[in-house]
A and B are shown apart, each in its own frame.
Chain A
Amino acid sequence: MNIGNLPFVVAALLVAFGIYTFLFKRNLIKLVIGVSLVETGVNLFLVTLGYRTAGIAPIYTFAPEAERMVLPTPQALTLTSIVIGLATTALLLSFAVFIHRHYGTLDVRKVKELRG
């Protein structure tokens, strides 16, 4: 197997673990962790897309005279996605705080007033 494909495998594993955590764990905080894992996997995938062998960072300040610079788009996408991830995680955790205050538990089996 080509070593260059390893990051993609890791990204796929992260997404799979994240979805597993999201589907089968019972604790709200663990659900948030699951969502974060999926997010990390997607981010890793995006940033790996931008990898070029022997490419250097696309920064002109004191740049060495190299052959090729990578296109910064995937990095920009990843950064944006991280920023969004920060906001969603913060919001999810705030909901978890309030749920704990109202229900006194973080167990999804006990937090289910909304059914049907």
Chain B
Amino acid sequence: MTALTNHAPVLLIAIPLLGAFAVPLIGKLGRQARNTFVGLIALITAAFAGLLAAHIFGQAGAPSLYVLGGHQGFGIPLPSGLSVPIRIILEVDGMGAFMALITALIMLTGAFFSFSYWKERSGGTLFYSLLMLLTAGIFGMELTGDMFNFFVFLEITSIAACGLIGFRVWLKTSQEAGFKVMALYTLSGLFVLLAVGLLYGQYGGLNIAYLASALTGSTIDIVALGLLLTGLALKAGAVPLHMWAPDAYGEAPAPMSAVLVANSQASLYGLFRILFTLFGLTISVGALGWILIVLALLTIFVGVTMALIQNDIKRLIAYSAVSQIGYMLLGVGVGLAVSAAKPDFGFVAMQGGIFHMLNDAACIGLLFFVSGVIIRATGTRDLNRMGGLAHSMKWTSVLFIIGAFALAGVPPFNGFASKFLIYEASFKLSPFLAVIAILSSILLLAVFVKVFQAAFLGAKQEGIGGEVPMGMMVPMVALALVVIVFGLFPGFFVDKIVTPAANALWYGRDAYIGLVLGGG
């Protein structure tokens, strides 16, 4: 068991990759064999994510290191006199393990939901291949301890994600979205690469821990930080760089929209890792925190107002997904703004922002799945042409209410638990922030009441089949259970997994550096 735990970080990347390349071969044996194989790979990957999380949270979020290719690297003395071990490493701390849990949850439910969703369509084999590739890329972004590998995994997710967005080549809009998203993803990746080059040129290293220990906060560092912030905010879909996000989430097949949200969250994780672990206090965190807060407020506001005017159910959910990215940014931005003085409410804000990542993944995932069910049943995405679905799909409508209420932050669901932490902490920094956040949540509730009224209520329509098949119901119920359980017992989860994750960012910089450089 310990051997498996030790190798879990690399297996989380290698097993989905193995799946990605083996699926097309297995697919030749027929659909049943393929689905069994994909399900098996997804289950094994999720099990390893659980194992890794249990291990990391067992040691209270302290980082652990995995060296690819052997135990010892060899040192090359740099002009600065410091000898850096040359090796490829994966470094997992509380935050990385937390993100791995989110990814595993969404990947697992997304894969199983797809089995029923893709039943009638051909070409599903490559679809699963891309899903596995995307999963491997997301895990890589979350677990790597090296700036350049971060870029490589970022590009792997970009390519796989755009393959999924444009997967339905027979739809003209999906091709348009695919091109747009791929072009912007590539630019964001190049910004990151340019920043990596700037850092490498100054310090001669790519290792996050080494760079963190060597950073001086020079002008070039600030330029690099600006590039990283732009690139990763673009990839995460923060306003004003959000224009690709509704297209991407809206045009991708419904189960994949949820995985794309996990992908955006991985970029957000990269941003947090860079701000807290790489740069830490070498930069003026106050100003930077306020930049994040402004971005967050813009994201929340624009996301919700744009959601309000949509008639297309998937674009509506896509815009609400954009607005939720704002809440995460708000929580962590408040934390960053005060991270020099480290008052208590700053930590609460961090907890809220990080907890909201998990909660958002669960309820946005649920809502995208429900939207997929609705689109399949009615054959349209236009809210004005739907209605009366509650007559034939009682369970789906209940699941939709759960997801929508959770996303809008209504107690007792999980969205409330994390949003409440964010409101509370941001109120202490400035009441204005909390007011905007609360008002936007109320607006979001109005949005979903509109959707519910349009899609589920009203006279029964002809030609709508009965309840969805079990294969789609089970993943949705699983996510709904996550939503409810995390909403009913938030204290337990905040203690067990959110606090170590927040700790890793807030206090964990020295431990992160020390583990790689030996005592620091």
Partner-B contacts on A (CB < 8 A) = 15, 19, 22, 28, 31-32, 35, 38-39, 42, 45-46, 49, 71, 73-74, 77, 80-81, 84, 87-88, 91-92, 95-96, 98-99, 102-103, 111-114, 116
Contacts and interface: CB of A to CB of B under 8 A. Distances in A.
Contacts of A87: 155, 159
Given A35-B187, A81-B193, A91 B159 contact: yes
Contacts of B162: 91, 95
Nearest to B162: A91
A46 B159 CA distance: 22
A116 B301 CA distance: 15
Interface of B: 76, 148, 152, 155, 158-159, 162-163, 166, 169, 172-173, 175-180, 182-183, 186-187, 189-190, 193-194, 196-197, 200-201, 204, 206, 246-247, 250-251, 306, 309-310
A31 B183 contact: yes
Contacts of A92: 179, 182-183, 186
A95 B155 contact: no
B155 A96 contact: no
27 contacts: A22-B183, A35-B187, A35-B190, A39-B190, A42-B197, A45-B194, A49-B200, A71-B204, A73-B200, A73-B206, A74-B200, A87-B155, A88-B158, A88-B159, A92-B182, A95-B178, A98-B175, A99-B179, A102-B172, A103-B176, A111-B176, A113-B172, A114-B180, A114-B247, A114-B250, A116-B306, A116-B310
A35 B197 contact: no
B181 to A, nearest CB: 9
Contact of B193 (A22, A42, A99, A112): A42
Nearest to B244: A114
B182 A95 contact: yes
Nearest to B201: A49
A32 B187 CA distance: 11
A101 B395 CA distance: 41
B175 A99 contact: yes
A103 B148 contact: no
A96 B169 CA distance: 11
A88 B179 contact: no
A35 B172 contact: no
A81 B178 CA distance: 21
A91 B163 CA distance: 8
B163 to A, nearest CB: 7
Contacts of A22: 183, 187
Nearest to A32: B183
A78 B182 CA distance: 20
B323 to A, nearest CB: 16
A46 B193 CA distance: 9
Given A35-B183, A87-B159, A91-B159, A98 B247 contact: no
Contact of A102 (B159, B175, B183, B310): B175
Contacts of A38: 187, 190
Given A73-B200, A77-B196, A114-B246, 11 more contacts: A42-B193, A46-B200, A73-B206, A80-B152, A87-B159, A88-B189, A95-B162, A95-B179, A95-B182, A99-B176, A99-B179
B190 to A, nearest CB: 5
Contacts of A28: 179
Contacts of B310: 116
Contacts of B186: 35, 39, 88, 92
B201 A103 contact: no
Contacts of A19: 187
